[in-house]
Amino acid sequence: MVLFRYIFLQLIIPYLLSVAILTFVLSMDTVYRLINLIVSKGVDATSVGLLLIYRLPQFLSVTLPLGVPVAVLIVMVRLSMDLELTAMHAAGCGVRKIASPVVVFGLLLTGMTLFITLWVQPTGFAAFEAEQLRILESHTAKRIQPKILNYDFDGKVLYVQEKGDDDQLSGVFIADRRLKKKSMVVAADRGIILVKEKEQELILKLFDGIIHLTEERPEIYRSIAFQSFDYIFKLPEIVSAEGGHIWGVPTLELINRKTHGAQVELLLRLTTPWACLGFALATITVGITNPRSGRIGSYLRVLILIIVYYILWMGAKDLTFKEGMTPHVLWIPPFTVFCVGIYSLYKYNNNLENFFVVCQHLFLKRQNHKIASI
C-alpha cells in the first residue's frame, strides 16, 4: 500500500503540469482570435472570457489523454535513473505491484475524460454557440452606422442611410463586394437585424424594397419588388469549429439519433477517453530504462507511440466518412494502444525478447496447463 501511494502521488504533479502546458499550446490560436475581438472589434472582455471557458472542455478532451504518457514516462524514467526500481525489484516487488498505481491512475483519468466528453463538452459548446450569437448580434448592430459602408459580412457591402435608437434601419442598400455577371443588388426602405439561434443564421429582414438581378447575358435584367424579404448572411465565425453544431448536442439526444454523423460523434465521445488507460499501460515499460543507456531512447519511443496513435485516430476518423464503413472503427486506436501495453507488460514481466518468443512462451504455457490438467 505504501508503494502504491508513493508511485500514485508521484504521477499527479507531472500530469497536471503537462496538461496545463499542452492545453495552453493547443488553445493559443483560439486565445489569439479572442484577444483580437477585444482589440480590433471592441467586444467586452467578460464575454470573451466566457467564450474561452466554454471552449476549454474541448481542449481538455485532447490534452487529458495526451498528458498520461508524459507523466508516466517522467515518473518511470526518474525511478529508473535513481535506481529506485532496482531497489523495488530487490525487495520482491514485481511488475504487477509497480504497474497497479499507474493502471488505477489511467482508469481514474479515463472516467474523468468520459465525464468531460459525454456531458461537460457538449454543454460547454452549446453555451459557446449561444454566447457567440449574442456577441454577433450586439456587435453587428453596433458596427452598422448610418452613411458608412460596412464590409463585415462575407463578400457583401451594406449601406444604411439612417439608424434609429431601436436599431431600426432606413434606406438599406446591399450588393456584392465584387459585381459579377450574376449579381444581386437589394434596396429597401426599412430593415432590422435578427438572429435565429436554432438555425444559426444572421438575418437582415427588409421591408418595401426591390431586388435587381443580372444574368450572364448583359441584355437580360430583372427586378423584383417585395413587401418583406429575409436576407440571410453567412455567420462570421469568432472561432472556427470544425464539426458544426453537433458538438453542442447532448449525448442522450445523440443516442436517439440514427444519422451517421450523430453516431460518429457519439463514438468519438466514447472512444477518445480510453486512450488514457491505453497510454498508461503502454508507457510503463517504455519508461523503465537502464541508467547507463540514458533517457533519450525512452522519450523517442513515447513520442513514436503518441504519433502512431494519432495517425490511427485520424485514419479511423476519415474511414467513418466512407460509404458503408461502420463508425465502430473508432475503437481501433485505443484498443491498439491497450494491446501494446498488455503485450509490453507481459514481455517485461517474463523477461522475453521479442514477439515470436512471447508467442512461443504463451504456447508452451498453454501446453503445460493442458498436461497438468490431465
Alpha helices in the chain (DSSP H): 2-26, 28-41, 45-81, 84-90, 95-115, 121-143, 251-256, 260-271, 275-287, 296-319, 332-349, 355-373
Residue 86 · residue 292 · CB < 8 Å? no
* 204-224 as b/e: b if 16+ CB within 10 A: bebeebebeebeeeeeeeeee
Please, which residues bridge with residue 188 across strands?
172, 209
- Give the amino acid at 39: V
Cα-based angle 259, 265, 266 (whole degrees, multiple of 5): 90
* 290-313 as b/e: b if 16+ CB within 10 A: eeeeebeebbebbeebbeebeebb
The Cα–Cα gap between 44 and 49 comes to 9
The Cα–Cα gap between 171 and 150 comes to 14
Which candidate, 302, 295, 270, places its Cα nearest to that of 66? Answer: 302
The Cα–Cα gap between 52 and 27 comes to 9
Residue 65 · residue 275 · CB < 8 Å? yes
The Cα–Cα gap between 269 and 195 comes to 30
pLDDT at 187: 86
Residue 230 · residue 108 · CB < 8 Å? no
Task: Name the helix (H) or strand (E) containing 159.
Answer: strand 156-163
Residue 52 · residue 34 · CB < 8 Å? yes
47 CB-near residues (< 8 Å, 6+ apart): 131, 134, 135
Q: Per-residue pLDDT for the chain (374 aa), expressed as one digit of tens each?
A: 788 888 889 899 999 999 999 999 988 888 887 787 777 666 777 777 888 888 899 899 989 999 999 999 998 888 888 888 778 777 777 778 888 899 999 999 999 999 999 999 888 888 887 777 777 766 666 667 788 887 766 677 888 888 877 778 888 888 877 766 677 788 888 888 777 666 566 778 888 888 887 776 666 777 788 888 887 766 555 444 444 457 777 888 888 887 877 888 888 899 999 999 999 998 888 887 777 777 788 888 889 999 999 999 888 888 887 777 788 888 999 999 999 888 888 887 777 777 677 677 666 666 666 666 65
Look at strands 184-196 and 221-233 and give their pairing.
Answer: unpaired
